[in-house]
């Protein structure tokens, strides 16, 4: 049982859709469990060649380059150490040396896989590429007397690939066999190098053998040879490198170099933990062996072939286990794939509410039975073009999580930032061991953040697709938010138009909201009364809806409009048909009437108060509609200064408003 603390280790690895990186992941995961440490896989992949093979022609809309940025996010992870599979991290690194790349990460102990580096705090694990190619070449030359041997190289920036190519050239020179440039094709370690092999065979119709720098490119060689009617193992000999799961199941079985990717992954974890424990760890090479099968022209029944590292029965068992495992993975993926349209639909239903959207993501993670999941978002999406200089953003925040059967999401102002001191690992810290697969969330040229899922290795393909769907949905959410902002701007513009129309409405005779006269209409009526010289006592009454602002702020403008319309009805009900009622401002009303009744002012105030009480008794609104009144008496004459009369009524209103309620909210509301 280990005595060290539970370390948090990051693994930077690309090409995870291919065999050997998957072997590394398997070995790392197994060793991490044995040593009781947390691991965070920062995953990259390349799909361009796959889509080109499936769709035909050039897949122009590939954004695989986005995956080449995910390793920089590990710098804000708060990790104790790193394992870097340098050779798989993508084409972005083609102009960056391993030493320079190592210096960016060597602030913490680091193990480099498939690459040799000489940097502080770093050491390397790499297979014995030279020995492997020597074994292959000697077998083809000595056992099969091959003279014209072609070579399909791996990525130019990959050390494994370069060592294998260099050894091929050295072995051809050792046996005095000529090599022309057209005898070497440049591959990329993927299974989709058909075009390169087609040209290679066109240029070398007399070729006897092809040495491939890895097995997956050799599978492409099988496919091309079959199309040309060439029988592998007879018309042309083929060898690979890796001994991946499909090698022994090819027809004919592939002769290859066997290197143990699982072992290398385990060694990387144990070496890194030793470094973290303060032990001295040296760089080393992992031994390889030649696995002879029929693709090189050997016949399995020949007794003289003894250098196969595993016997036929073990190979068959291994292949059967692989086939069964792949079938189970396919069945599981097919069943889960029905979940993806459901996820897209449920997220689409939340486009009006970002908080609900994030919570829905976490609820779906719970349904998928992840151990726990964390969603980290950038404050604003960033646009990264392939030819731009990459600068890792520093505004990553925890936006949502699912753990211990609890799902929650945060609004932007509540999101916890991810920093070097408070990194991804610290946000995930608890008493349990975790294995996080971390996916980049992007759509096209825009990056949105990271998705970290505590899942098993075999679940990666499905959750990779899930991460692509979430990235796409985040893009739609961004569009929805932009549309909402545009709608708000349009609403503000419409409100401005309405305000201008309200100003223009004073030119007309009637108030649009209440149907009453407006200021102009009221002015015409008071002029008409004063010019008639009736010699009757008249009154101008200023009415004011109490606390209109409170109603608007608390219950909204529709409620305020309802209150104003109610005031118009209440006052109208207290007047005679020949009296004049107008709305002359937001909450201001004016009344003009003539009356000889004694104590009219007290009587009218009580009448309006009683009418308000009756209205509020019947109303189901959470607020009261009440009216303050100011009354001024005058004798109508042609020379009457009506503005002075209105000012007197307004002064009386001001005194009345001192006695209004402090709030019109109903006590029970």
- Please give the Cα distance from 304 to 302 (Å, whole number): 6
Locate 512 and state its tokens. Answer: 């649009």
The share of the chain scoring above pLDDT 70, in percent, equals: 88
Q: What is the mean pLDDT of the chain?
A: 86
Q: What is the DSSP letter of 64?
A: G
- Please give the Cα distance from 632 to 653 (Å, whole number): 10
For residue 55, pLDDT beyond 70: no
What's the whole-number mean pLDDT along residues 6-34? 88
Query: How wide is the angle at C-alpha 173 spanned by C-alphas 168 and 174, nearest 5°?
Result: 95
For residue 506, pLDDT beyond 60: no
pLDDT band at 319 (very low <50, low <70, confident <90, very high): low
What's the whole-number mean pLDDT along residues 214-239? 96
pLDDT band at 499 (very low <50, low <70, confident <90, very high): confident
For residue 631, pLDDT beyond 70: yes
The share of the chain scoring above pLDDT 90, in percent, equals: 51
What's the whole-number mean pLDDT along residues 526-537? 81
For residue 57, pLDDT beyond 60: no
pLDDT at 261 (0 to 100): 87
Higher pLDDT, 99 or 436: 436
Q: Was domain 508-657 assigned CATH 3.30.70.270?
A: yes
pLDDT band at 421 (very low <50, low <70, confident <90, very high): confident
For residue 129, pLDDT beyond 80: yes
Under 8 Å between Cβ of 30 and 103: no
Fold agreement (127-262+284-309, 508-657): no
Higher pLDDT, 47 or 178: 178
- Please give the Cα distance from 635 to 628 (Å, whole number): 24
pLDDT at 191 (0 to 100): 87
pLDDT at 312 (0 to 100): 58
Angle between helices 519-532 and 642-657 (to 10 degrees): 120
- Please give the Cα distance from 570 to 566 (Å, whole number): 6
Under 8 Å between Cβ of 360 and 368: no
pLDDT at 334 (0 to 100): 57
- Please give the Cα distance from 566 to 559 (Å, whole number): 10
pLDDT band at 256 (very low <50, low <70, confident <90, very high): very high
Question: Global pTM?
Answer: 0.64
Higher pLDDT, 669 or 559: 559
What's the whole-number mean pLDDT along residues 449-468? 89
Residue 81's beta-bridge partner residues?
Answer: 9
pLDDT band at 306 (very low <50, low <70, confident <90, very high): very low
pLDDT at 594 (0 to 100): 87
For residue 385, pLDDT beyond 90: no
What's the whole-number mean pLDDT along residues 293-307? 67
pLDDT at 389 (0 to 100): 83
Higher pLDDT, 45 or 578: 578
pLDDT at 157 (0 to 100): 78
pLDDT at 314 (0 to 100): 60
- Please give the Cα distance from 542 to 588 (Å, whole number): 7
Q: Is the preceding peptide bond at 3 cis, omega within 30 degrees of 0?
A: no
pLDDT at 89 (0 to 100): 75
What's the whole-number mean pLDDT along residues 276-289? 90
For residue 335, pLDDT beyond 60: no
For residue 48, pLDDT beyond 70: no
Higher pLDDT, 505 or 425: 425
Locate 66 and state its tokens. Answer: 């986005």
Residue 538's beta-bridge partner residues?
Answer: 594, 634
Under 8 Å between Cβ of 213 and 152: yes
Higher pLDDT, 447 or 340: 447
pLDDT band at 457 (very low <50, low <70, confident <90, very high): confident
Higher pLDDT, 507 or 25: 25
Nearest of 240, 210, 213 to residue 225 by alpha carbon = 210
Provide the H-helix boundaries in 349-438: 354-367, 424-427
Spell out the residues 6+ positions from residue 636 whose beta carbon is closer than 8 angstroms to its own.
529, 530, 532, 533, 534, 536, 538, 594
When computed from its CA atoms, the radius of gyration of the chain, rounded to whole angstroms, is 40
Domain boundaries, the chain: 8-126+333-471, 127-262+284-309, 508-657
For residue 543, pLDDT beyond 50: yes
- Please give the Cα distance from 144 to 164 (Å, whole number): 21
Query: How wide is the angle at C-alpha 167 spanned by C-alphas 164 and 168, nearest 5°?
Result: 85
pLDDT at 623 (0 to 100): 93
pLDDT at 56 (0 to 100): 47
What's the whole-number mean pLDDT along residues 329-333? 56
Locate 640 and state its tokens. Answer: 């009457």
Residue 151's beta-bridge partner residues?
Answer: 184, 211
Is 338 strand, coil or helix?
Answer: coil
Higher pLDDT, 174 or 77: 174
Q: What is the DSSP letter of 558?
A: H
pLDDT at 321 (0 to 100): 61
Q: Was domain 127-262+284-309 assigned CATH 3.40.50.2300?
A: yes
pLDDT at 305 (0 to 100): 43
Under 8 Å between Cβ of 360 and 344: no
For residue 352, pLDDT beyond 90: no
pLDDT band at 524 (very low <50, low <70, confident <90, very high): confident
Under 8 Å between Cβ of 259 and 125: no
| pLDDT tens-digit readout, 596-621 | 888 899 999 999 999 999 999 999 99
Instruction: Outline where DSSP puts E strands in 29-97.
Output: 38-43, 81-85
Give one DSSP letter per residue of 211-257, joined into a string: EESSHHHHHHHHHHHHHHTPPBTTTBEEE-SB--TTGGGSSSPPBEE
Give one DSSP letter per residue of 598-616, joined into a string: TTHHHHHHHHHHHHHHHHH
For residue 64, pLDDT beyond 50: yes
pLDDT at 295 (0 to 100): 96
Among left, alpha and beta (phi > 0; psi -120 to 50; other), residue 217 is alpha
pLDDT at 667 (0 to 100): 81
pLDDT at 491 (0 to 100): 83
Higher pLDDT, 430 or 598: 598
pLDDT at 53 (0 to 100): 45
b/e per residue, 537-556, with b = 16+ CB within 10 A? ebbbbbbbbbbbeebbebbe
Under 8 Å between Cβ of 189 and 216: yes
Under 8 Å between Cβ of 139 and 67: no
pLDDT at 542 (0 to 100): 94
């Amino acid at each position: 049982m280990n005595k060290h603390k539970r370390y948090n280790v990051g693994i930077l690895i690309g090409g995870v859709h291919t065999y050997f990186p998957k072997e590394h992941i398997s070995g790392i995961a197994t060793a991490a469990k044995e040593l009781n440490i947390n691991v965070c896989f920062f995953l990259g992949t390349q799909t361009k060649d796959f889509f080109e093979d499936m769709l035909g022609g050039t897949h122009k809309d590939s954004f695989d380059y986005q995956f080449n940025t995910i390793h920089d996010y590990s710098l804000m992870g708060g990790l104790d150490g790193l394992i870097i599979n340098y050779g798989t991290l993508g084409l972005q690194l083609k102009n960056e040396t391993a030493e320079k790349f190592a210096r960016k990460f060597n602030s913490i102990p680091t193990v480099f896989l498939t690459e040799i580096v000489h940097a502080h705090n770093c050491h390397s694990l790499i297979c014995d590429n030279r020995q492997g190619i020597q074994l292959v070449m000697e077998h083809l030359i000595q056992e099969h007397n091959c003279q014209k041997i072609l070579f399909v190289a791996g990525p130019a920036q990959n050390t494994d690939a370069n060592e294998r190519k260099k050894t091929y050239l050295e072995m051809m020179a050792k046996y005095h066999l000529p090599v022309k440039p057209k005898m070497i094709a440049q591959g990329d370690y993927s299974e989709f190098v058909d075009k390169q092999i087609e040209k290679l065979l066109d240029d070398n119709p007399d070729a006897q053998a092809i040495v491939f720098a890895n097995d997956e490119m050799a599978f492409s060689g099988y496919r091309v040879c079959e199309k040309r009617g060439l029988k592998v193992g007879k018309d042309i000999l083929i060898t690979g490198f890796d001994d991946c799961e499909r090698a022994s199941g090819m027809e004919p079985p592939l002769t290859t170099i066997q290197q143990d990717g699982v072992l290398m992954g385990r060694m990387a974890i144990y070496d890194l933990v030793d470094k973290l424990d303060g032990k001295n760890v040296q760089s080393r090479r992992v031994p390889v062996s030649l696995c002879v099968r029929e693709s090189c022209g050997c016949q399995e029944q020949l007794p003289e072939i003894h250098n196969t590292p595993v016997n036929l029965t073990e190979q068959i068992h291994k292949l059967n286990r692989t086939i069964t495992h792949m079938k189970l993975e396919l069945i599981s993926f097919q069943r889960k794939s029905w979940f993806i349209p459901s996820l897209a639909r449920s997220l689409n239903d939340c486009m009006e509410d970002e908080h609900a959207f994030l919570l829905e993501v976490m609820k779906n993670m719970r349904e998928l039975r992840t151990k726990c999941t964390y969603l980290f978002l950038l404050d604003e999406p960033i646009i990264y073009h392939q030819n731009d200089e990459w600068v890792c953003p520093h505004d990553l925040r925890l936006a949502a999580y699912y753990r211990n059967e609890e799902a929650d999401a945060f609004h932007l102002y509540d999101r916890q930032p991810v920093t070097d001191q408070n990194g991804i690992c610290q946000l995930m810290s608890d008493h349990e061991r975790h294995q996080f697969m971390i996916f980049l969330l992007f759509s096209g040229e825009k990056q949105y953040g990271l998705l970290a899922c505590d899942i098993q290795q075999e679940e990666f393909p499905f959750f990779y697709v899930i991460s692509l769907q979430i990235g796409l949905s985040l893009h739609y959410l961004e569009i929805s938010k932009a549309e909402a902002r545009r709608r708000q701007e349009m609403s503000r513009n419409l409100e401005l138009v309405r305000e201008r129309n309200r100003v223009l409405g004073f030119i007309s005779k009637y108030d649009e909201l209440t149907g009453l006269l407006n200021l102009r209409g009221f002015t015409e009526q008071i002029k008409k009364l004063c010019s008639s010289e009736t010699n009757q006592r008249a009154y101008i009454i200023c009415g004011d809806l109490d606390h209109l602002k409170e109603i608007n702020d608390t219950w909204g403008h529709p409620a305020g409009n309802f209150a104003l319309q109610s005031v118009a009805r209440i006052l109208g009900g207290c007047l005679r048909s020949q009296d004049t009622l107008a709305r002359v401002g937001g909450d201001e009303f004016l009344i003009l009437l003539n009356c000889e009744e004694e104590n009219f002012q007290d009587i009218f105030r009580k009448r309006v108060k009683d009418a308000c009480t009756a209205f509020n008794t019947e109303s189901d609104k959470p607020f009261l509609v009440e009216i303050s009144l100011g009354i001024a008496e005058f004798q109508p004459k042609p020379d009457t200064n009506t503005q002075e009369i209105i000012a007197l009524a307004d002064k009386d209103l001001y005194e009345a408003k001192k006695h209004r309620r402090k709030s019109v909210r109903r006590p029970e509301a």
